[in-house]
Structure formats: structure tokens, C-alpha cells
Structure 1
Amino acid sequence: MYGGVKAAGRSARTRLRDRVAASDPGLLRLTAGLRTVGAIALTLGVLAVFGVDVKHLVAGAMAAMVATFAIREKEPGPQAVTLALGLPVALASVSLSTLLSSRVVVGDAFFVVLIFCAVFVRRFGDRGTALGLIGFQVYFVSLFVGGKVSGLPGLWAAVAVAFASSAVVRFGVVPATPVRILSLLRQAFRARLAQLIATQLDLLDAGPDDIDRTLERLRDGTARLHETALMIQSRLDEGTPDASTARLVQRRIADAEIAAERLGLLLLTARSAERADTLTLHLPGAPAPAVGHSPAPGEATELLRRDLTALRTLVLRPPAEARGTALSHLRNRLLGYRDEENLPEATAAVQDVFRGVGETARAVMGLRIALDGPQDESDDSPATARSREELDAEDAAIDAGEEAAEEEEQTGLRRPTTRAAVQVAVGSSLAIVGGEFLSSQRWYWAVLTCWIVFINTASTGEILVKGYRRLLGTVLGVVAGIVLAGLVGNHTWTAFGLVLVLIFAMFYTAPLSYTLMSFFVTAMLGLLYTLLHTYSMSVLLLRVEETALGAACGIVAAALVLPIRTDRRTNELLGTVLERLTDVTEGAVDQLSGGPEADLLDTARELDQALGDLRAATQPLTHPITPLRARRDTAQYVVALLETCAYHARSLAATAELLPTHPSIAADPRLRGAVRRTVRNIEAIAAHVADENAGTRVETGPSIASLLEPDAAGVPRYGRITGRVLRHLERLDEAVVGLARPLGVSVGAPRR
């Protein structure tokens, strides 16, 4: 009985851990929140021991926050160097801010120069970005607390304690090495993969009234899995011992993601009266295909339900518990579906689902071997042994690959950091002038908002959306600040305790919602004003006015000074996506046609990154409040079509990667000719995006499958693997043609 209770407790802890891992991949948000709160708490504790006043407590707390969140490097060594360099920068900044505070014109002019330099040094990477951020933010801290020359030694001490506390918490209390973060990200990938399979299981049983809602969950689960895969790929270089291991993990993550996405599409097809379009998995709000019937009557349905549950169990089982004949039996049964003779009696669509289950089980086994090392092989069935041999052969073929060629760097005002520095300097100058008219004491809030809306934005539209979100969060935060200030009263340490809670919430929600983060920041400021005995309704309302002014100044500067229009930005990124799509498609098909091996994994990763950049850049066009509804729908449709293209291109690349090590997969030279039209169409669309007067057109014609003529009478046209490749090529070709209409490219039959 005791053993059963203990096992149940362990199971509950495992489920909770998986939920947390899935909601916060790598625990990155939790780590950021704990580090910041820990650094502030330690700073306050040390300063309180020496009996410093509230003003210096606030300065120390804000400096500790800056010293913690400014550091961007992933390795502990570079982090320590940046933190050490940041201290003299912070001391110089707080000194200049205090000395110049009484000289209005000189102080304002220097502040603008500081802002320009802080943005300009982003060109030097994470360290330059961090030092610029520290310089600006600590200058602002002195303005906020009203630092005086006579109080400089106290401010220096508070800043020094803050940086020391940040170092202690970062490297001693809440350490996070790249290896540990990568391990947590892999755990998150497993948890999200299991959640996606659970949603696929729900799709199997969903009725006509529930299928649209279940399909939306399937879309979200697929997108979340892809997000985690990209996060893992971004940390492989630092988190793995060598390049070969990094490529192996990258390969297995990609295999598992593609297999899971394909399984969802096959299930959707089995539930539908017709073959499901891949676009359905990527277009938000797209209706589910008409439900024709239950996926399979009787025994086949029960088998499918049982096997999807077993697949989820394989994914979730921790390495320490992944032994024993029961789990081996599940794995052997699922991998058996890769052999035609083991498929149950069912319709062709349902048999495809069982094949998809087998391929996903193989991907899960490959992922487990890559992440956890060699597995027990004593209970392997012949099908499992063959799958393991295939994986071993693939592992042996993986090498470090070639170094990517460096892209040509822009210079002068065309360089993004230089352009942003000029824009934010102009916007800040406007904010200083306007802010002084609103308040000679609180004008710096307008400057801070102007500065912030330029962080991680690249076009006028992105700055507009960010400014709107900050203003909305500020208005809501003012209401919360009024309530909290009234509750706290003059209780100093109660206020500091609530400040810590709000700061944790701010950092934990920052990657999820900029509006929420702004809400928590403003609510926290209400408490800080209470601590400084400067709180009043008029101060909080002034905060809203200064925020609105700063956002407006940022938008005006972005629109009038070296502007990057949203259309221009999205067109540039769209051209990059189409270029990467051509590279992946041509490279994969060339290898599948018998050409030399190529580094398709890195090429596919570049496609995913380019598509992610485009998705972020279209946010101003797809925002719910945009008045241009037709334009919003077009942008969503184009991005969804590109995601569909990327899925099929990744699938082609994954199949091509198997070619050198799988005797069952043979190259087919005819594929090279079959894909030419698709590549020409992608290039035609790219040319039109670059120049609307290019006069290009997209060609239609017979299906790609019909282009593969048999070599001789009586010879089968193509085998099952080639058939799968053709299905991906067909869907890719259809999606590319579908891109032509919303992008304004003419479509017609090929010219004779």
C-alpha cells in the first residue's frame, strides 16, 4: 500500500513537472523572474543591514534589476565579463546623471547623446547591447530617485551592492548553464509532444460540434512544438559537447516534429470526407474539413485509440523508468506498423494513420537515444531492431558540417543599429521637449517609453503596435497602482514585498504579453512612488500622459526619420523566406534524385528562422485592432501558406537525409525534372515581391505525379517512398500556386 501511495505521488509530481516544462520551455521565464527577485531581495537585505534610507534602497533595487536583465550571453564566462564591465559603466552613468541634473540644457543634450550611443553599440552583439542598456537605465535610476551630488557616495555603494548581489544570485543561487537549459528545453519538447499527441487522440473521437475547437487546439499544439524545436536549435552550439552531437540532436528533434505534424494531418484526413489540406493546420480560424465518418469502424478505431495512448506513454516515460518488458512491448508493436504486413484491416486513409504512428514511434526512439544515450535492446522485435540499425547508420553519417558563410554586413545609415540610434535620438529629443512641457520633474518617463518602443522592433508598424501595448498596460497599471498604494500605506517592507511580487510577474509574463509586462511595471511604480513619498493621483495620471507622449514621439521619429515601412520590411523578409524555400526544395530534391549530399538540416533551420522573422514583422498587419480587415486576412493567409510550404519542404529534407543510410529508399532521377515548375514559380513570386513590374507569372499544369513516366512498359511508376515524396511535392506545388493570388501574381498555363 505504501509503495502504491509513493508511486502515485511520484506520478503526480511527474505530471506537474511536465505541465510546468510545457508551459515554460527551459524554465527560462521562471529563471529570469527568480534571478531578478533574488538579486533585488539580496540587495535590499544588505543595504538594510547598513541602515540606508528608502531612496537608496529604491536605487539599489532598480540597479539590481538592471544588472540582472541586461545580461544576454548564454555562457557563464562571458556573462561574468559583461557584469564586471557593467559596474564601471553604471557608476559613471549615475555620476553623470547626478552631476548634470541641475544643468537642464547640458543634461538633456548629454542624455540624447547617451541614448544614441546606447543603441549604436548594439552592433557589437550581446555585450554591447547589455552595456548600452546598463548605461541608459542607471542614468534613468538617478533621475527617478532624485539623486544629489552630496548623496553620490551612497548611490555608488547601492549600485555596487546591486551588481555584487546580481552576480551572487546569477552564479550561485540560480545558476543556469547552457547544458542545463538545453536539458530543460528537451524535457519541454517531450512534454509538448505528449500534449500534441493527446490532442490528436481527442481529434480521433471529436464529434461534428467539437472538431473545430479540437482542430484549433491541434494548431496551437503544433505551433508550440515548433517553437520549442527552434529554441532548442538556438542553444545547441553552447549546450552540447561538440558539433556532431549538436547535429544529431537537431536531426532527431526535426524528425520528431515532422512525424508528429504529419500524424495530425493523417488523422484529420481519416476523419474527413476528403483529403485534408495541410493549410488547415496552419491558418488560424480555418474550418475543419467536412466530417464524413468515424475514422474506422469497430476494432480499427479501438486499435488506433490504444496505439495513440501507447505512443504518448513512450514520449512521456522518463529515462529511469523506460525499462521493462511492458514498455518494450508497446514500442515493438508501434514500430511494427512500419511494415506493411502488420497494418490492420482498414481503409487506406486509416492505414496511413497507423503508418504515421509507426514513423512517429521511430522518431521518438531516435530522440530518446540522442538525448539519453544507448537503450536496452534485449527485448527488441525484428522491426525494432531494423529501426535501431537505421538510426545507428544515420548517426554514423552525421558530421559537423561546413561553416556557414557570413552574410555581407550593411554599413552607414543602412545598418539597422545606426538607423535605430538616429531614430531613437530624434524621438527622445522630441520626448524631452514635450515632456518638459508636461512636467519639469517627470519628463524622463516620455524618454523611457520612446527608448523602449525601439527595442526589438524594425519597422514603423512594429513600433506603433508596441507603443499601443505599452500605453494600454500603463493605463491598466495606474488603476492597480492606485489600489495597491492605498492598501500599503506607509508600511515600507510590505511595499517592498509587493514590489518583488510584481517584478517577478513582470519578468515571467514579458515573453508572453508586452501589455501585461507594462501593467506590472506601472503597478510597481505606484508602490515605489509611495516609498519615496511622492505618490499622488496626479503623478500616476502624469505617468499615462508621459507614456502616450513618448510612444507618439517614437512613432513620429520612426515614420519620418530614415523610415522602414512595414510593407517594405515584410517584402524584404518575404523575399528571404522564398529564397530559403527554394534552397531547401532544390537541395532536397537534388539529393532525392541522386545528387551529392548537402547540409539540409541547417538550410531548413534557416527557412524556419526566416519564417519566424516574417511572422513577427506581420504583427502590425494582423493585430486584432487593425482597421484594414482585408489586409489582415491576406497577411494571415500568406503566412499560413508559407508555413504549409515550409512543412512540406522540411519533410522533403528529412526524407532526403535518410537516403544515404537506408537501402529501402532509392534515388529517383525523375524527381529533379518534376520539381522544376515549382522552383520556377517560387522564383517568379520572389521576383514579383522584389519588383511589382517584373512581369512574372506562375505556371499551372498537370500534376507532379503525372510528370514521372515509367521507364519501361510494365514497370511500376514509383514506390511507396517516392509516392510520399510526390505527395509533399504536390502539396508544395499547390501551396506555391495558392500564394500567387493574394500576392497579385498572374497565374496561367505555360507559354508555348
Structure 2
Amino acid sequence: MRAAGRSGRTRLRDRVAASDPGLLRLTAGLRTVGAIALALAVLALLGSDVTHLVAGAMAAMVATFAIREKQPAAQAVTLALGLPVALASVALGAVLNARVVVGDVFFVVLIFCAVYARRFGDRGTALGLISFQIYFLSLFVGATVSALPEVWGAIAVAFGCSAVVRFAVVPATPAGVLQRLRQAFRARLAQLLSAQLELLDAGPDEIDKVLEDLRAGTARLHETALMIQSRLEEGTPDESVARLVQRRIADAEIAAERLGLLLLTARSAERADTLTLHLPGAPAPSMRRASAPDEATATLRRDLEALRALVLRPASEHTGTALAHVRNRLLGYRDEENLPPAAPVVQDVFRGIGETARAVLGLRTALDGPQDESDDSPATARSREELDAEDAAIDAGEEETPEEPTGLRRPTTRAAVQVAVGSSLAIAGGELLSTQRWYWAVLTCWIVFLNTASTGEILVKGYRRLLGTVFGVVAGIVLAGLVGQHTWTAFGLVLVFIFAMFYTAPLSYTLMSFFVTAMLGLLYTLLHTYSASVLLLRLEETALGAACGVVAAALVLPIHTDRRTNELLGTVLERLTEVTEEAVDQLSGGPAADLLDRARDLDQALGDLRAATQPLTHPVTPLRARRDTARYVVALLETCAYHARSLAATAELLPTHPSIAADPRLRGAVRRTVRNIDAIAAHLADEHADAAVETGPSIASLLEPGTDGTPRYGRITGRVLRHLERLDEAVMGLARPLGVPVAAPRR
């Protein structure tokens, strides 16, 4: 019974870890709600009235969510600096509240400075956000000079409560967050293996749904890998450990994705395209006719389940001869003599299981420390020796600091000018709608500019905020009528909505806007200023603020979506060239390069491009053909990135893996692919450029023949060639949607 209960708790923990990697959303929601609840309790004990309770609650929320630094010491410094900034901001708001023109001018200047401060990193961003939000708070509660001492006291209490909750009640160290992200990676890896197991048994009517689950699982695993990479520097004791974990995470991700592709090929009547795993809605390949279950299929199903168990089993339970026997059997598939009799495509799946088991072994060693080696088989011992040799060879490299743009080309400066202009329009229009509630338009204009970089992104964000506000207005009207004057019931619902707001923010901006507006309806009720007309005015001001933001983004130093996506696409192609060339050069016998960081740079560039194309791929966009093209291009680039990562991972094995030898012939095989990438990049930079992609024979045929009596190429060289061929095909596929001409093959 205890074992069953522990197993149930483990499954629940894995589900939670997979749904919220690192528990980042849960931590943000609990911290904010805890800080607000503690501030309300302290202020209530001090006898504060409802206005100051509201001020304290809002200040506690701002003091909690504004700080994004990862190290607790840095968070403490920023929080300490934020208090005097908040006190000064609310004082200026109270003084200038009655001076309309001066107050409006100062508000615009404050907005410009708050956005410009983002250039100074997380601390500048936090202090700018605190100054703006607290100034807004002074307008919301109608702070006056005579009431400043009470408001200052409420804000000081709020910041103190935020510190107590952040550092004592809900602490989160970088090492702890990284540990939870590792658990999330394991859970999502197990989910992907479950989807692959479903693919093995899926019938013709189920294959489309299983493929969607496979795509979603692959994308979620990659997302978690990027989250881990972004926190390795702060969460690990030294750089060598960070690079080791980064390497093992990358190995496991690549091995799992390759296993899914091998399974898809085994189930297909034709060679499965890697693009199928990356393009949403891509048609399923024609499947083989279902046959009676055979011994190989049963063994394959058993081993996939065993591999999933190896991934999920906690380190404390990773002992015992039975588990060691399973691990040894799976690792044995790396040797040809241990493969069961089956069709070649099915044997490839068993090889994939062996490589994935090796990646899981390396992942466990990197994350959980040395493992019990008493029951190792020769295949397992060989895998450990390879992993130990790789670990010893990992060395830190120096990173280049990219040159940053200056002046109005600097993103923070441009955004500050745009927000200042948009806020000026919002103030003018907002005061025409209401001399008392005009600041809602300014707040919306400010928010739609946060974390956006193009006109299209601002338009989509404004639309989502407006949609959430519409439904939030309806909910606010209903709840205000139900709650009435029940103060603490209203505050309880406010806490629920705030938690929901922070928990759903990374998932849906529309949902977050809904909870914000519903919460505001309750706050207006507490301040005895609620009416249906007030919430409708909130809707009007929101629409106006979003419109002002879009106008400012379109007319003042605009960055159009096409320009933004082309720039990012050029960056992705540049990173793709770097990874491919350096990996193939190392596989050809060249010097070792920092391929891990190169691959991470490629993933980050591709993530930026994926985010920038959201306005083009949004479901409500009227340009359907353009949306499909954008999705297709991103899917092709994800396919290219997968093959480039695989080449980099293989090249990293070269110095230590006894079965991998450099093949100088590979250097010539990649030249055409690199030329094609350069041609596409040149066409993006100048559509009139005289550049064209080149077709030709297969990559394998480009290899110069070996000496007499030697095989044409070995197994590892063959795997590299397969990745190069798929990469070459994907790059060729980019030519048509991007309008790059195709030249005749060279003779």
C-alpha cells in the first residue's frame, strides 16, 4: 500500500512538473497572492481603511511581479531600491494629480524613462515598472498630499510583506528552480515516449491524433530544454557542470526525437519526412497495412515501456537487478549482434532505443551523480566509459559579446519613444472619454508594448487584451452584483483572480486580461465607485489605449512584421550555417569547436523567429495563404535545426568515442548546402540579389570514393550523410515559399 501510494504521488508530481516546468507559474501565483494576503492582514490589524487596503494590495502585487532576477541577493537589492522609487512615485502622483497639464507631461516623461530603463537589464526593468505602476496606483486610489503618510505606510508594509513571502514563505533559489526544470524534462520525455508508444499501435483512424500528440510532445520537450539552458549559468556551481548538463539534455532530446522519426518510418509505407514532426496539421504519411502482432512488435512495445520506466524512475529507486537487467538489455541494442530478427526499418527502431537508453544513462549520471555499476553488462560498461570520456573532454569556451546597436536603432530607445507618443495620444483621447478614468487608456498602451518588437505583435496583443477585457467586464458586472458590500469576500475573490492571472499569463494573454478586468470590478466595488458604466468605460479606454499603441507603433520608428521576421530569419540562417559548417568540419578532422553554444544560439534564434511570426500565424488572420507559408517556413527551419543539432551532437562524440573516426570527405559534401543557405540569406537581404539555390545529386554521391578494398562509408558516416541529406532537402524546400530562384545543377 505504501508503494502504491508513493507511486501515485510520483505520477501526480510528474504531471504537475510536466504541465508547469520548474513550477514557475505556480511560484509566481503563490508569491503574489501570499504577499497581498499578508499585506492585507497586517494593514487590517493596523486599522487601515479600505482605500489603503486596496493601495497596499496593489503595491504588494507590483513589488512581487516586477522583480525578475534569478539570484536572491540581486532580488533583495532591487526590492530595497524599489521602495524609495515607489514612495517618490506615489508622492509625485499625489502632488501632480490636481495639475492636469503638468501631471500629464510628467506622466509621459515617466513612461519614457521607465521603458528606456530596460536597457540596463532586469534591475532597470523592475525599477521602471515599479515607478510606472505605483504612479498609476496613486491615480487609481486618488492619493492626495494630506493622505501621503498613510499611503506611504501601506506601500512600505506591502514591500515588507513581499520580501517576507519571497525570501521566507515561497523561496526559490536558482538551483532549486533548475532541479524542478530537470524533473519537468524527465516528465515531458516520458510523455513523448508514451506518444511514441501510441504511434506503434495506432490504427488508420487514430494516426492523425497520435501525430498531433507526437508533435506537441516534441515541442514541449524542446521548450523545457531551452528553459534549462537559460538557467544553467545561475543554477549550477561552475561552468563545466553547466556544460555537462547542457550536453546530456541535448543528447536526450535529439535521441528521443530521432526515435520518434524511426518509429514513424517503421509504421509508414514510405520514408517518413522529418517535417511531419514539426509542421502542425501536416498529413500523415501512408501507413503500412496492419498485420498480425509478431514477436518483434511485442518486443518493441515492451522495450518502449521499459525505456519510459527508466526515464521516470527516481534515483533513490534506481537500484536492483531487475532494473539493471532492463537497462543492460536496452543498451545492448547498440551492438548489431543483439538486434532481434526483424525488418531493417524495425531494427533501426531498436538501434534508436539503444541510443536513447544511452542518452538516459548519461542524463541520470549528470543529474543524479554516480550510479551503481555492480550489475553492468559489457555493453553498459562500454556506454559508461564513453560517457566518462566525454565528460572529461568537456571544456568551457569563451563567448563572444555581440555588438549592440546605438541611438534610435537600440530597441529600448525606440520602444521608449513609441510608448511616449502612444501614451500622449492615449492621455488626450482618454481625457475626452473621462477626466477621472483616463489612465486606463495609458495603462493599456503601456502594456501592449511590453515584450513586443513589431507592429504585428502589438496589434495581436492589443486584440487579445481587448477580447479578455470584454469578457472581464461581463464577469465584473455579475460578481459586483453578487458580492455587494461584503468586503472580505470581495478581497478573497480578488486573491483568487490574481492567482489565476499570474498562473495563466504565460499560457494565454486573453485569459490574463479577463482575470485582471474581473478583479478590477471587485476593487471598484470595494472603493464604492462601482457601476456598470465604469466597467463599460474601462472597455472603451482599453480599446482606445490599444488603438493608440498600434498607431504609435505603425507611424513612429516602425518595425513592420515583415522586416522583423526577415531579420530574424536571416539570423536563424546565419546560426544554421555556423552549426553545420563547424560540426562537419570537426567530423572531417578539423579542430574542436564550441558546438553546444552554437546549437543553443540556433535554438534561441529560432525561438525568437517563432514568436515574431505569431501575428502571421494567428487563427483570425485574414491572410490564410500567408499564414500557411509562415507555418511551413518555421516548420522547415525546425527540421533544419534538428538535423544541425544531430550533426553537432555526433561531432561532439568524435574525440572520445572509439567507434567514430573523422572522415575528411564530409567537408566537401556540405558545400552545396552552405551555398544554398547563403543564397537564401542574400535574397532576404535584397530581393533583387543575383542569388539562387542549386539542385544536384544526393549528398552521399558527392563523397570522393575511398581507397580500394575499403567500404564506401561507415555506419557513423552514413548517419551523418542522412542528416546532411535531410538538411539539404529542407534548405531546398525553403526556396519556394521564400521566392528564391532555383538554378540548374552544376556540372
Q: If the length of structure 2 is used for normalisation, what is the TM-score?
A: 0.99
Give the conservation status (yes or no) of the 8 Å contact 1:622–1:632.
yes
Among 635, 642, 651, which residue is 1:647 paired with? 642
Match of 1:433 in 2: 428
Deviation at 1:712, TM superposition (A): 2.5
Give the conservation status (yes or no) of the 8 Å contact 2:87–2:155.
yes
Q: What is the rounded CA distance, in whole Å, between the counterparts of 1:175 and 1:747 in structure 2? A: 57
> In the alignment, is residue 244 of structure 1 matched against residue 240 of structure 2?
yes
Deviation at 1:715, TM superposition (A): 2.2
> In the alignment, is residue 110 of structure 1 matched against residue 106 of structure 2?
yes
> In the alignment, is residue 502 of structure 1 matched against residue 497 of structure 2?
yes
Q: What is the rounded CA distance, in whole Å, between the counterparts of 1:519 and 1:9 in structure 2? A: 38
Give the conservation status (yes or no) of the 8 Å contact 2:676–2:692.
yes
Give the conservation status (yes or no) of the 8 Å contact 2:696–2:746.
no
Give the conservation status (yes or no) of the 8 Å contact 1:271–1:295.
no
Deviation at 1:340, TM superposition (A): 0.2
> In the alignment, is residue 558 of structure 1 matched against residue 553 of structure 2?
yes
Percent sequence identity is 85
Q: What is the rounded CA distance, in whole Å, between the counterparts of 1:452 and 1:577 in structure 2? A: 28
Deviation at 1:748, TM superposition (A): 2.3
Amino acid at match of 1:317: R
Among 707, 710, 716, which residue is 1:715 paired with? 710
Q: What is the rounded CA distance, in whole Å, between the counterparts of 1:672 and 1:452 in structure 2? A: 50
Runs of 4+ in 1 over 4 A off after TM superposition: 294-297
Match of 1:701 in 2: 696
Q: Secondary structure at the match of 1:149?
A: coil
Q: What is the rounded CA distance, in whole Å, between the counterparts of 2:665 and 2:414 in structure 1? A: 49
Among 357, 360, 365, which residue is 2:356 paired with? 360
Deviation at 1:737, TM superposition (A): 0.3
Q: Where do residues 244-283 of structure 1 align in structure 2 (5 Å cutoff)? A: 244-283=240-279
Among 122, 128, 142, which residue is 1:126 paired with? 122
Match of 1:53 in 2: 49
Match of 2:449 in 1: 454
* CA 1:746–1:352: 2 relative to 1, 3 Å: same
Among 376, 382, 386, which residue is 1:380 paired with? 376
Among 153, 170, 177, which residue is 2:173 paired with? 177
1:598-653 deviation line (CA, Å, top 9, x unaligned) = 00000000000000000000000000000101100000000000000000000000
Amino acid at match of 2:690: G
Q: What is the rounded CA distance, in whole Å, between the counterparts of 1:260 and 1:540 in structure 2? A: 50
Amino acid at match of 1:486: G
Q: What is the rounded CA distance, in whole Å, between the counterparts of 1:297 and 1:396 in structure 2? A: 45
Match of 1:208 in 2: 204
Q: What is the rounded CA distance, in whole Å, between the counterparts of 1:459 and 1:470 in structure 2? A: 17
Give the conservation status (yes or no) of the 8 Å contact 1:431–1:447.
yes
Among 347, 350, 355, which residue is 2:346 paired with? 350
Deviation at 1:293, TM superposition (A): 3.2
Match of 2:396 in 1: 400
Give the conservation status (yes or no) of the 8 Å contact 1:581–1:646.
yes
> In the alignment, is residue 153 of structure 1 matched against residue 167 of structure 2?
no
Match of 2:605 in 1: 610
Q: What is the rounded CA distance, in whole Å, between the counterparts of 1:198 and 1:296 in structure 2? A: 22
Give the conservation status (yes or no) of the 8 Å contact 2:197–2:301.
yes
Q: What is the rounded CA distance, in whole Å, between the counterparts of 2:212 and 2:492 in structure 1? A: 40
> In the alignment, is residue 575 of structure 1 matched against residue 553 of structure 2?
no
Among 631, 640, 643, which residue is 1:636 paired with? 631
Q: What is the rounded CA distance, in whole Å, between the counterparts of 1:50 and 1:712 in structure 2? A: 89
* CA 1:751–1:307: 2 relative to 1, 3 Å: closer
Q: What is the rounded CA distance, in whole Å, between the counterparts of 2:222 and 2:550 in structure 1? A: 33
Q: CA RMSD in A?
A: 0.8
Deviation at 1:751, TM superposition (A): 4.7
Deviation at 1:296, TM superposition (A): 8.6
Q: What is the rounded CA distance, in whole Å, between the counterparts of 1:246 and 1:356 in structure 2? A: 26
Match of 1:162 in 2: 158
Deviation at 1:714, TM superposition (A): 3.5
Give the conservation status (yes or no) of the 8 Å contact 2:18–2:184.
yes
> In the alignment, is residue 391 of structure 1 matched against residue 390 of structure 2?
no
Deviation at 1:750, TM superposition (A): 3.2
Deviation at 1:241, TM superposition (A): 0.4
Give the conservation status (yes or no) of the 8 Å contact 1:300–1:345.
yes
1:30-89 deviation line (CA, Å, top 9, x unaligned) = 000000000000000000001110000000000000000000110000000000000000
Deviation at 1:147, TM superposition (A): 1.0
Give the conservation status (yes or no) of the 8 Å contact 1:112–1:428.
yes
Match of 1:413 in 2: 408
1:293-341 deviation line (CA, Å, top 9, x unaligned) = 3489500000000000000000000010011111101100000000000
Q: What is the rounded CA distance, in whole Å, between the counterparts of 1:318 and 1:747 in structure 2? A: 53
Match of 2:73 in 1: 77
> In the alignment, is residue 219 of structure 1 matched against residue 215 of structure 2?
yes
> In the alignment, is residue 735 of structure 1 matched against residue 730 of structure 2?
yes
* CA 1:324–1:76: 2 relative to 1, 3 Å: same
Give the conservation status (yes or no) of the 8 Å contact 1:270–1:295.
no
Match of 2:227 in 1: 231
> In the alignment, is residue 663 of structure 1 matched against residue 658 of structure 2?
yes
> In the alignment, is residue 529 of structure 1 matched against residue 524 of structure 2?
yes
Deviation at 1:413, TM superposition (A): 0.6
Q: What is the rounded CA distance, in whole Å, between the counterparts of 1:346 and 1:293 in structure 2? A: 17
Give the conservation status (yes or no) of the 8 Å contact 1:244–1:400.
yes
Among 356, 365, 368, which residue is 1:369 paired with? 365
Match of 1:598 in 2: 593
Q: Secondary structure at the match of 1:703?
A: coil
Among 23, 36, 39, which residue is 1:40 paired with? 36
Amino acid at match of 1:419: R
Amino acid at match of 1:527: L
Q: What is the rounded CA distance, in whole Å, between the counterparts of 2:26 and 2:68 in structure 1? A: 16
* CA 1:626–1:124: 2 relative to 1, 3 Å: same
Greater Cα offset, 704-713 or 580-589: 704-713
Match of 2:315 in 1: 319
Q: What is the rounded CA distance, in whole Å, between the counterparts of 1:306 and 1:550 in structure 2? A: 58
Greater Cα offset, 649-658 or 288-297: 288-297
> In the alignment, is residue 492 of structure 1 matched against residue 491 of structure 2?
no
Give the conservation status (yes or no) of the 8 Å contact 2:588–2:662.
yes
Give the conservation status (yes or no) of the 8 Å contact 1:18–1:187.
yes
Q: What is the rounded CA distance, in whole Å, between the counterparts of 1:530 and 1:675 in structure 2? A: 67
Q: What is the rounded CA distance, in whole Å, between the counterparts of 1:483 and 1:313 in structure 2? A: 49
Give the conservation status (yes or no) of the 8 Å contact 1:710–1:716.
no
Give the conservation status (yes or no) of the 8 Å contact 1:204–1:295.
no
Give the conservation status (yes or no) of the 8 Å contact 1:179–1:238.
yes
May I ask how many residue pairs the two structures share in their alignment? 747
Give the conservation status (yes or no) of the 8 Å contact 1:272–1:293.
no
Give the conservation status (yes or no) of the 8 Å contact 1:447–1:550.
yes
Deviation at 1:713, TM superposition (A): 3.3
Q: If the length of structure 1 is used for normalisation, what is the TM-score?
A: 0.99
Give the conservation status (yes or no) of the 8 Å contact 1:95–1:152.
yes
Give the conservation status (yes or no) of the 8 Å contact 2:116–2:413.
yes
Q: Which sections of structure 1, spanning at least 5 residues, go unmatched?
A: none
Q: Secondary structure at the match of 1:235?
A: helix
Q: Secondary structure at the match of 2:742?
A: strand
Q: What is the rounded CA distance, in whole Å, between the counterparts of 1:688 and 1:466 in structure 2? A: 30
Amino acid at match of 1:186: R
Give the conservation status (yes or no) of the 8 Å contact 1:75–1:178.
yes
Q: Secondary structure at the match of 1:661?
A: coil
Q: Which sections of structure 2, spanning at least 5 residues, go unmatched?
A: none
Match of 1:744 in 2: 739
* CA 1:751–1:385: 2 relative to 1, 3 Å: closer
Q: What is the rounded CA distance, in whole Å, between the counterparts of 1:484 and 1:328 in structure 2? A: 58
Q: What is the rounded CA distance, in whole Å, between the counterparts of 2:481 and 2:330 in structure 1? A: 62
Match of 1:685 in 2: 680
* CA 1:295–1:724: 2 relative to 1, 3 Å: farther
> In the alignment, is residue 340 of structure 1 matched against residue 336 of structure 2?
yes
Deviation at 1:679, TM superposition (A): 0.4
Q: What is the rounded CA distance, in whole Å, between the counterparts of 1:338 and 1:224 in structure 2? A: 27
Q: What is the rounded CA distance, in whole Å, between the counterparts of 2:657 and 2:290 in structure 1? A: 35
Q: Secondary structure at the match of 1:442?
A: coil
* CA 1:323–1:615: 2 relative to 1, 3 Å: same
Deviation at 1:482, TM superposition (A): 1.1
